Structure 1
Amino acid sequence: MPNKITPAVRTNNITYAVRDIVVLANQVAKSGKEMLYLNIGDPNLFDFEPPRHLVDATYKAMLENKNGYAPSSGIKEAIDAIEREAERKGITNVHDIFVTTGASEAIDICLTALVNDGENVLTPTPGYPLYTAIASKLQMMENPYYLNEENGWLPDIEDIKSKINYKTRAIILINPNNPTGSLYTEENLRQIVELALEHNLVIFADEIYDKLLFDGKKHISIASLNKDVSCITFGGLSKNYMVPGFRIGWGIVSGRKEVLADYIEAINKILRARLSANHPEQYGIKPSLEGSQEHLVIAMQKLTRRRDLTVEMLNSIPGISCVKPEGAFYAFPRLHMKQPDSHFVAELIKETGVVVVPGSGFGQVPGTQHFRVVFLPNEQILEKAYKAIGDFYQKYLEKYPDLIEV
């Protein structure tokens, strides 16, 4: 018998908790148990729809046979619209804009063009698992910095300072944050800008949820705070415009041209090599960014009710606490216990059919336990799910009384 094909070492540590947990959920679903899915941030699975003018523009492009390859960086109409969006966000000194297959591809390309084996990037913890997956692929050294739960999940500036070393190339920000829903303050962002300038770091500003804000809050793009800081601002249609399946994202490179020129060319080498992002969907960018935003008003009315319900019900469960999200559609409640959250979540799914994602899949301060919920479903589903979580948690603690956090 021939030897097994050995996969590349770089794949050993690639995990994606959001999807990985579905394997167990599918097994439980086969038993006939009713499933309540609070694990995937896809608005289209629930009562959210994209603006009609976005869909119409894309359909029109397809009918006009805009179905071949696009320019590597994207069509001019889209690039120009993204540049005007950058101006509205206060971002100046822009030197390059490119359209990609979702913001995920933009992030992957920009990390690939920057980081060598053994170098590191400061990565928010908790944070979106895409970044750790790419880090593993690129054989980057892990360098997590922590968000402070006691301070509304803002980045811990002192922790960031302590983690910077001579092999640190960049710092990643997810604002609003996935999985916590936190929205960063101007003071916090300015402190990060100063660190980036001092250590010549590139800021990766993931702002994919920048229009999904609660309570009249305003989003501040970190690139808008300093025209000299090297920054790539990532955005896309997936979340704000409710078309995650379109896979349309982008990157905006700003800062000092003399510092960024070689890096920009490296990014474009990769863009050219992979040909182009989806072509007809790019014709939806301009009408999305510049057309009616009424769908956001409707979406935020729904999400505000669901956010408030989430915070109220989860905080009413003894042994669980939840910081109030200020953006996106996620919450990251804490389990005040010593048992690994992965065990709690697995047992929860098997017992109740409620599917959440363990906090360990996003990273967290060592010794703490969390889980992420997506509050996109309607209030009836959320109420049922949170009641099931509360009932199950009390039984769980009775079963493992020595694991209660003191």
Structure 2
Amino acid sequence: MSSNRLQTRARLSEVRYEIRGELARRARDLECQGRTLIKLNIGNPGAFGFRAPEHLQRAITEGISGTDPYTHQQGLPAAREAIAAFHRDRGTDVTADQVFIGNGVSELIDLSLRALLNPGDEVLLPSPDYPLWSASTILNDGRPVYYTCTPENAFMPDPAEIEALITPRTRAIVLINPNNPTGATYPRALLEQIVDTAARHGLLLMCDEIYDSILYDGATFQPLAPLAGDVPCLSFGGLSKVHRACGWRVGWAVLSGDRARTGDFHHAMDLLGALRLCSNVPGQLAIDAALHGADTISALCAPGGRLHAARQAVIEGVAASAHMQLVAPGGSMFAFPAVVGAAAVGFDDHAFALELLETEDVLVVPGSSFNVAYRNHFRITLLPEAAQLAEVFRRIERVLDRSAERGRAVQAEADAEPASRVAVA
């Protein structure tokens, strides 16, 4: 029998997805040993006791008998019209024909980049990014080019840097707003500058707006498509986060802009959708109820709401720490703390995350997993109860106390080294 191993695609070696990667596999091993973990690596509301709203559940159960057949590759007509109407209410002139429903936003990101890219084409992505965007660009033979969103600038993009990165191979600018992992929310004036850049260079705007209604303490959300006007724009949304229905796998992408410019891309998206037949049909029954029914997210994000309380627990946990700083998230269900001071000397975010898991039973995601050059951040979700997050930060502080001891020792050795050399000389 041949000993040759099956070969895999070479470009997979360039793909990172630590959210469900090595640390998550180690967490499963520890759980099999009987350890009880606090897993903060995934924004998965159902795992923390949240439920999809009852009126969404009823919409599915009442219509489930009609969901056995395949539907149109772009989705159920009534569901697409509900999405189009939602976007029209926000100021974008679109019809149901411009809506594509998929098995979550994740599938639609992959399909849209597959429809857009030729080998070597470039996509401008934020750093930090949600790593699926980088992975999908790579696996569709594109090249990710990162514009930096630094903590010093409240994780906001710099329009001048975005423009400077554009080359003849650039095809699209990706925005994630509200941002994952940082929670940044982008102001209208900033988005208008980016739209102007896309218009002048003939680029597609791709805006991941899955957290559009998860906002805190006066933060606002500005949809991109109404600002884009005739500029081709693909806006992504879904039921997973705002409506706490991750497992239903219902997402959508709305293609707006000048139809003379977007026609070929629309056809490509339609073709790729047809090749996978259709997306989950039962989940689509909940779209109209979600977008045009009762608002069930605002109360969770307002003072007294569970998500607001969790965010406040994170802010207080960082403020009480001797070793952390935080740009408070304005939106989304994540925070992206930084390790500073003595604890940051020689700090490695992956090693920290592994030590936190092994010694304190807490699973977080290293910041470098989100395609940043620095290694002193980590991401956590805001989904646990506030009391549990307070306990998490007590455990994190114990690990960072040890990091600070090591950092001070390293610094002391470095400070002593010149004197040693003088003595030897």
Q: TM-score range by the shorter chain?
A: over 0.9
- Do structure 1's residue 348 and structure 2's residue 356 form an aligned pair? yes
Find the counterpart in structure 2 of residue 324 from structure 1: 328
SS of 2:62's partner is helix
SS of 2:162's partner is helix
Find the counterpart in structure 2 of residue 42 from structure 1: 44
1:172-321 superposed matches below 5 A: 172-298=174-300, 300=302, 301-321=305-325
Find the counterpart in structure 1 of residue 85 from structure 2: 84
Q: What code does the residue aligned with 2:19 have?
A: V
Q: Is the 8 A contact 1:124 1:172 kept in 2?
A: yes
Q: How far, CA to CA, are the matches of 1:298 and 1:142 in structure 2? A: 35
Find the counterpart in structure 1 of residue 131 from structure 2: 129
Q: How far, CA to CA, are the matches of 2:385 and 2:300 in structure 1? A: 14
Gaps of 5+ in 2: 416-425
- Structure 1 window deviating more from structure 2 (99-108 vs 286-295): it is 286-295
Deviation at 1:31, TM superposition (A): 4.1
SS of 1:179's partner is coil
- Structure 1 window deviating more from structure 2 (150-159 vs 50-59): it is 150-159
Instruction: Label 1:368 to 1:6 Cα distance change in 2 as closer, same or farther (>3 A).
Output: closer
Deviation at 1:15, TM superposition (A): 2.2
Find the counterpart in structure 2 of residue 367 from structure 1: 374
Gaps of 5+ in 1: none
Q: How far, CA to CA, are the matches of 1:360 and 1:6 in structure 2? A: 28
Q: What code does the residue aligned with 1:313 have?
A: G
Spell out, residue by residue over 1:346-396, the C-alpha distance to the aligned partner (whole angstroms, 9 max, x if none). Answer: 1111111111000011122x2342100101000121111111101210112
Q: What code does the residue aligned with 1:325 have?
A: P
Deviation at 1:302, TM superposition (A): 1.0
Q: How far, CA to CA, are the matches of 1:402 and 1:136 in structure 2? A: 41
- Structure 1 window deviating more from structure 2 (335-344 vs 92-101): it is 92-101
Find the counterpart in structure 1 of residue 420 from structure 2: none
RMSD between aligned alpha carbons? 1.7
Deviation at 1:160, TM superposition (A): 1.2
1:56-75 superposed matches below 5 A: 56-62=58-64, 64-75=65-76
- Structure 1 window deviating more from structure 2 (186-195 vs 6-15): it is 6-15
Q: How far, CA to CA, are the matches of 1:8 and 1:211 in structure 2? A: 38
Find the counterpart in structure 2 of residue 8 from structure 1: 9
Deviation at 1:339, TM superposition (A): 2.2
SS of 2:191's partner is helix
Find the counterpart in structure 1 of residue 119 from structure 2: 117
Q: Is the 8 A contact 2:216 2:301 kept in 1?
A: no
Q: Is the 8 A contact 2:214 2:297 kept in 1?
A: no
More helix by share: 2
SS of 1:122's partner is strand
Q: How far, CA to CA, are the matches of 1:7 and 1:192 in structure 2? A: 38
Q: How many residues align?
A: 403
Q: What code does the residue aligned with 1:352 have?
A: E
Q: Is the 8 A contact 1:175 1:182 kept in 2?
A: yes
Q: Is the 8 A contact 1:93 1:227 kept in 2?
A: no
Spell out, residue by residue over 1:173-231, the C-alpha distance to the aligned partner (whole angstroms, 9 max, x if none). Answer: 10000000110011110111011001111011100000111123321111111311110
SS of 2:286's partner is helix
Q: Which has the larger radius of gyration?
A: 2
User: Hey, which bits of structure 1, 4+ residues long, moved more than 6 A?
Assistant: none
Q: Is the 8 A contact 2:243 2:296 kept in 1?
A: no
Q: How far, CA to CA, are the matches of 1:224 and 1:402 in structure 2? A: 55
Q: What code does the residue aligned with 1:372 have?
A: R
Spell out, residue by residue over 1:237-274, the C-alpha distance to the aligned partner (whole angstroms, 9 max, x if none). Answer: 11111100000000100111111111111111111111
Equivalent of 2:154 in 146, 152, 155: 152
Deviation at 1:293, TM superposition (A): 1.1
SS of 1:159's partner is helix
Find the counterpart in structure 1 of residue 421 from structure 2: none
Instruction: Label 1:113 to 1:314 Cα distance change in 2 as closer, same or farther (>3 A).
Output: same
Find the counterpart in structure 1 of residue 390 from structure 2: 383
State percent identity of aligned pairs.
33
The two structures have a TM-score, normalised by structure 2, of: 0.91
The two structures have a TM-score, normalised by structure 1, of: 0.95
Find the counterpart in structure 2 of residue 142 from structure 1: 144
Q: Is the 8 A contact 1:28 1:349 kept in 2?
A: no
Instruction: Label 1:403 to 1:154 Cα distance change in 2 as closer, same or farther (>3 A).
Output: farther
Q: What code does the residue aligned with 1:308 have?
A: Q
Find the counterpart in structure 2 of residue 335 from structure 1: 339
- Structure 1 window deviating more from structure 2 (34-43 vs 287-296): it is 287-296
Q: What code does the residue aligned with 1:87 have?
A: R
Deviation at 1:102, TM superposition (A): 0.5
Higher relative contact order (CA 8 A, sep 6+): 1
Instruction: Label 1:399 to 1:154 Cα distance change in 2 as closer, same or farther (>3 A).
Output: same
Find the counterpart in structure 2 of residue 25 from structure 1: 27
Deviation at 1:50, TM superposition (A): 1.3
Find the counterpart in structure 2 of residue 357 from structure 1: 365
Q: Is the 8 A contact 1:339 1:403 kept in 2?
A: no
